[in-house]
Amino acid sequence: EIHPNQDPRVINGQGTIALELLEQQPGLDAVICSIGGGGLIGGIATYIKETDPKIKVIGAEPEAARSAYLSKKAGELVKNPPNTPVHTIADSVKSSLGATTYPIVHKYVDDCFTVNEDEIEQATRFVMERSKQVIEPGCGVAVAVATSKAFYDKHPDVKNVGVIMCGGNLDLDNLPWLRAKKR
């Protein structure tokens, strides 16, 4: 069985996203990636930091599922509360870091930010309306951080930012702005 975010082969494979990003967009100061179980950001952060350590790797999480944010702050693995439902529209990133991904995130991810549900919704909708790309709210988490005042206040030196926009699995009937119109 291959675990979707704790298997080293999956993590290494996801690191190839960073290879392609840095080849296609040289000169980045930071890369922002949503975090759930940590496999995607783990692979991306490992490649970036081993290739060009001056590039900042920034994690993005929903406030309702902030395992990486709390883990970075505590200096140890902190999981989302067990047996407690996590309520977020960003369901693809509501899992916790695991035993394989926590050490990678601890070592290679420079900072983590959280965003609320309104920010996730606005960012997801913005990308869909303006760039005509279908993204899931889990991806909208990274966009929300990339467009937040908090990120630039804390990292004023960052000018060129890459945002990992990975994931288009969404249920149109559950998008908040469409659900509101049905009422």
pLDDT at residue 182 in the model? 63
pLDDT at residue 168 in the model? 80
Phi, psi of 156 (to 5 degrees): -65, -20
**48 and 31 in contact (C-beta within 8 Å)?**
yes
Q: What angle do CA 158, 164, 170 make, to 5 degrees?
A: 140
What's the pLDDT tens digit per position in 129-180? 999 999 999 999 999 999 999 999 999 999 999 999 988 877 777 777 666 6
pLDDT at residue 29 in the model? 99
pLDDT at residue 83 in the model? 86
Identify the band that residue 115 occupies on the pLDDT scale cut at 50, 70 and 90. very high
Q: Of the CATH numbers 3.40.50.1100, 3.20.20.70, 3.40.1160.10, 3.30.930.10, which one belongs to the domain with range 8-182? A: 3.40.50.1100
Q: Where are the domains of the chain?
A: 8-182
